[in-house]
Amino acid sequence: MRYTLVVAGALLAVTLSGCASGGTPMTTPSPSRPPFQTTSPLPTAGPSGTAASVPADKWAAILADLSGRGVPTDDVQLVSARSVTWNSGALGCPKPGVSYTQALVDGMQVVVSVAGTTYDYRFGNSGRPMLCER
């Protein structure tokens, strides 16, 4: 019985000594520190971080899509093109009520202009363009 009391006392002493503060007191964060921010749902630039050139097959797919919409393709102007990692299968342009794959998707965003109208095309894993209509 006496041995049990000695062991229990030793355990209690070790436990309490671990709780004692021998260092400096903790301080609260400085008010100048920026608040915690979450990541943006917007697409991020690809690994290169630079504007991308549009591969011939993707350009042909854009022209075919525009033509199918009745848009003349004789004066299509490239506004911007960039490699993007999308955060879902929606490619940064979700439609209400539609479910999308929740995974990172490497792709491309290509914005073109025809007769003053801008068209925002998104590419994912396939070569098929998706027109983002907002």
Q: How far is Cα 48 from Cα 45, in angstroms, rounded to an integer?
A: 8
Q: Tell me phi and psi for residue 131, to 5 degrees.
A: -80, 120
Top pLDDT among 43 and 130 is at: 130
Annotate 75-86 with b (16+ C-beta within 10 A) or e (fewer): ebeeeebbbbeb
Query: Residue 131 and residue 119: Cα distance in Å, rounded?
Result: 7
What is the pLDDT, as a whole number, of residue 86?
94
| Mean pLDDT on 121-134 | 92
Q: What's the rounded Cα separation, in Å, for the pair 55 and 132?
A: 19
Backbone angles phi, psi at 105, to 5 degrees: -125, 115
Tens of pLDDT, residues 39-69? 444 444 444 334 578 999 999 999 999 999 9
Task: Please state, as a whole number, how many other Cβ atoms lie within 10 Å of the Cβ of residue 65.
Answer: 17
**Higher-pLDDT residue of 11, 98:** 98
pLDDT score, position 77? 95
Burial of 123 (0-12, 13-18, 19+ CB in 10 A): buried
